[in-house]
Structure 1
Amino acid sequence: MNDDVRLTAWVRGRVQGVGFRWFTRAAALELGGLSGFALNLDDGRVQVVAEGTRDKCERLLDWLENGDTPGRVDGVTEIWGTPRGGYDGFAIR
């Protein structure tokens, strides 16, 4: 069963000012079939929202946690939910 899900992840570390959102978007587009966004937060974290199949969202989460990301990831907190829709592709906000 690979129904669509919504992944919301908050990435901590040195993830602003290093191209992290751009690389996250590129990773999402490379996986294909994901929509959502990457957003810098005022507290220095990056919020990533991705909607698509659970498999692809899990692969994006794995990249966020263990991939060759720019900067330095100290930790990722995630929650899973039901897709809300309304995204046109994967955006940088």
Structure 2
Amino acid sequence: KGGVRNLSDGRVEAVFEGEKERVEELIEFCHHGPPPAKVSSVKVTWEECTGEFKDFFIRYR
């Protein structure tokens, strides 16, 4: 659960909640991204789950 959104400066922000193994899989995907994405860096910050997400969202700018 969580989501991703494009920021106005070209970065992408993602927030994931769930089982640690699944979140780690999503983080690994972020290091490559979908074609034709060009990922230059990934910053990961671990926090406690808040339970605020009921599904997964994608927001484009």
Q: Which has the higher helix share?
A: 1
Indicate conservation of the 8 Å contact 2:4/2:15, yes or no.
yes
Structure 1 residues without counterparts, runs of 5 or longer = 1-34
Instruction: Work out which of the residue numbers 35, 41, 44 in structure 2 matches 1:75.
Output: 41
TM-score (norm 2): 0.83
State, as a whole percentage, how many aligned pairs show the same letter: 36
Provide the residue aligned with 2:3 in structure 1: 37
TM-score (norm 1): 0.57
Deviation at residue 89 of structure 1 after TM alignment:
0.8
Structure 2 residues without counterparts, runs of 5 or longer = none
Deviation at residue 59 of structure 1 after TM alignment:
0.6
Q: Across the two proteins, how many residue pairs are aligned to each other?
A: 58
